[in-house]
Structure 1
């Protein structure tokens, strides 16, 4: 064994094994039973384990599939979303027939198809400051496949307060990251990223896109971490951040240590405020003076110029009638001049003094308003449609 490998942290198993496996289970998990250092005892530990999986989406899908297939005895799935057609490109636990169903119900059916004897609990809702501590304390390990910063930090703080091991992963476009946080045995998320980012500082999957198969790579790595923790095998990613770039096929590892100056988490007060800014669906709540809500927008629709900063393919799905199209990248490159060129002489009463910019959910349009606010002519009012075209379509 190399010096580097010997220095990696190892931990004892998280759970005591069940007394025995049935003959059917011995046959089912025979490929595990022959693994050196894993064997019968490791499989018995998996059968005794209880796991909480936050999110039944891109990361949750491979996590749930592989943990159920591996023989974990009890899984709780929490998610407040429903299956949409756009999920099926990456959320392989769901099928076309599941569109419109709650994700937790669809996921529960899927894992029961893999293992009918698996104990599954579903929670159709969000992880919140009100339920997080009890949920974490009730499970041996938690895997966080959430799609927003507030929930990720809530998971970290709940893990730190309850002492529950947490496997963390994130994906964006063509890249993914994985780490494992075990309170008292290494650094936590706040040692790596001390502050909760602004909700709209990074586009979500709907805004920025994600390579579907990337979810399998990252989610499978997360499931592997959970199995290592449960069985006490190998060296978890404690104090290490695994980074994967799909386009280059390169993996890298960043080592990090506890920050001695970081305040200890004592309650969920700070993260509760962040969670309050993320309504159902994971889109950041908008409350700035540069926004216009859907009700006002509808009332004043004929008095404003509407600019759509989404991509061409998004407009093929749906668009606001009469809107002007200017992709955000073009706006970033050309600023006000790009918008002025596209608008030409359009606008209320032949002017362009009241402009509403929209995207899918509000993040890109807010950026567009920020880009333009410093260069727009005097008297021009720029606002972002709160909730984007999703909010507008929801009131049709």
Structure 2
């Protein structure tokens, strides 16, 4: 696998980063990332993954664009209302970087298809807006040994952690029960954007090997006071997803 002259110019600034270089950029080019959800997290996450040169990005979402999405879902525009979110996103991503392959996956994530959807990916990125689907993806990633970068947002608050199957706690270790859902989440677009870009950083670290991922740690962002708290989390032996009895 080689770079074209245009690719070398496009990625010049990140190739210059110590710990990434051309080898790290090659790993990005060879990576396959699934973005589960094309909303407030999925839009900015997919945008920066494609800009960074991840070789294949699949955006999975069955929903259509609504006007109330546009305060935070930055790859959907007014003219996209009524269109499939995954298709709306992919159209712009291909214009941003024709050097990578981007695919819209028009499917609902279910317990029946989740393992097949995540299979073969380098990393799965959480772009979802409901806990039930997050728990489904968490289980599928653990069973398929695919790293899962989780983030969630609410109002001015958010959290992020990285699940590395077999090497740290999974999402259900941290949250044993599915949290209650809200029909219409209060959310500020910038909060979703901030967490999504942290997800991209975690994903790039996992792919290139640079830095220390958030395995066994969860960051909580309080944007109201602009403070970040780190919480240590441990794998549970009684976890129904990844636990092993003593």
- TM-score above 0.5: yes
Please point out which of 72, 77, 80 is paired with 2:62: 80
Distance 1:264 1:33 in 2: 38
Distance 1:111 1:130 in 2: 29
Aligned CA distance change for structure 1 residues 55 and 264 (closer, same or farther; 3 Å): closer
Equivalenced residue count is: 243
Please point out which of 196, 199, 208 is paired with 2:178: 196
- Give yes or no for the alignment of 1:240 onto 2:220: no
Decide whether the 8 Å contact of 1:56 with 1:104 is kept in 2.
Answer: yes
Aligned twin of 2:16: 34
Distance 1:124 1:136 in 2: 14
Offset, 1:117: 2.6
Aligned twin of 1:213: 190
Offset, 1:118: 1.8
TM-score, scaled relative to structure 2: 0.95
Aligned twin of 2:73: 91
- Give yes or no for the alignment of 1:53 onto 2:53: no
- Give yes or no for the alignment of 1:224 onto 2:195: no
- Give yes or no for the alignment of 1:261 onto 2:242: no
Q: For residues 1-396 of structure 1, what are the structure 2 equivalents within 5 Å?
A: 19-197=1-179, 201-204=180-183, 206=184, 208-265=185-242
The structure showing larger relative contact order (alpha-carbon pairs under 8 Å, at least 6 residues apart) is 2
Decide whether the 8 Å contact of 1:94 with 1:110 is kept in 2.
Answer: no
Unmatched runs of 5 consecutive residues or more in structure 2:
none
TM-score, scaled relative to structure 1: 0.60
Runs of 4+ in 1 over 3 A off after TM superposition: 263-266
Decide whether the 8 Å contact of 2:164 with 2:215 is kept in 1.
Answer: yes
Q: For 1:52-99, what per-residue CA distance to the aligned partner results, in whole angstroms no more than 9, with x for missing partners? A: 100000000110110010000001111111111111110001111111
Unmatched runs of 5 consecutive residues or more in structure 1:
1-18, 267-396
Q: For 1:334-378, what per-residue CA distance to the aligned partner results, in whole angstroms no more than 9, with x for missing partners? A: xxxxxxxxxxxxxxxxxxxxxxxxxxxxxxxxxxxxxxxxxxxxx
Distance 2:242 2:8 in 1: 43
CA-atom RMSD in angstroms? 1.3
Decide whether the 8 Å contact of 1:43 with 1:71 is kept in 2.
Answer: yes
Distance 2:235 2:198 in 1: 23
Distance 2:239 2:78 in 1: 46
